[in-house]
């Protein structure tokens, strides 16, 4: 039977405590991922931060009062091409525009520490794939960190499990 170790992703993308949300959004967009583990300077797992965390924060902030046409205001801010920005999700038109931020807080003033989920769902690398699938479903989560002897060794996502179910997960 296949284990988490057989299908986990080991080329990990992480951020450190203190990373700005602006840097996070750019990283998520550049790497095409929806969330990443947050580590401290000693490589200890401190949480997970995702596009959903950014959106949840944005939903709590008041809208930016804009006079006139949005793109005219954007151009007037000197932020450059209105097409510049980072998509919060590939399926969405919601973007983060550098420098504009939200209300009085800009994404350069906000760190991942302030919006991350301070718990990280963890699985053992020797857990069976069906057990990991059950864990993700039960927790209503999209990803779990694979931890071996307190060290982050991989990540497994619902998509990784779907690939196995679809027969595209590698050898048996």
pLDDT band, residue 56 (cuts 50/70/90): confident
Among candidate residues 32, 49, 21, the one with its CA nearest the CA of residue 145: 49
The CATH code of the domain at 4-165 is 3.10.580.10
Q: What does the block give as tokens for 144?
A: 């779990």
Q: Which residues contact 109 (CB under 8 A, 6 or more apart)?
A: 20, 101
More confident of the two residues 16 and 65: 16
d(CA 145, CA 169): 18
User: Is pLDDT above 60 for 70?
Assistant: no
Share of the chain above pLDDT 70, in %: 70
Kindly report the pTM of this predicted structure. Answer: 0.71
User: Is pLDDT above 80 for 35?
Assistant: yes
Q: Which residues contact 30 (CB under 8 A, 6 or more apart)?
A: none
Contact between 77 and 100 (Cβ < 8 Å): yes
Q: What is the pLDDT of residue 94?
A: 45
Domain range annotation of the chain: 4-165
Summary mean pLDDT of the chain: 79
């Amino acid at each position: 039977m296949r284990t988490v170790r057989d299908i986990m992703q080991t080329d990990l993308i992480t951020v450190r405590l203190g990373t700005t949300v602006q840097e996070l959004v750019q990283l998520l967009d550049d790497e095409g991922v929806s969330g990443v583990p947050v580590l401290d300077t000693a490589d200890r797992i401190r949480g997970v931060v995702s596009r959903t965390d950014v959106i949840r924060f944005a939903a709590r902030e008041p809208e930016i009062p804009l006079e006139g046409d949005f793109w005219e205001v954007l151009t007037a801010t000197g932020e450059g091409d209105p097409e510049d920005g980072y998509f919060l999700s590939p399926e969405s038109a919601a973007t983060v525009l550098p420098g504009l931020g939200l209300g009085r807080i800009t994404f350069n003033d906000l760190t991942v520490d302030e919006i991350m989920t301070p718990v990280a769902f963890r699985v053992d690398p020797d857990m069976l794939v069906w057990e990991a699938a059950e864990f993700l479903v039960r927790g209503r989560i999209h990803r779990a960190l694979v931890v071996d002897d307190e060290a982050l060794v991989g990540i497994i996502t619902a998509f990784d499990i779907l690939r196995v179910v679809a027969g595209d997960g590698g050898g048996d």
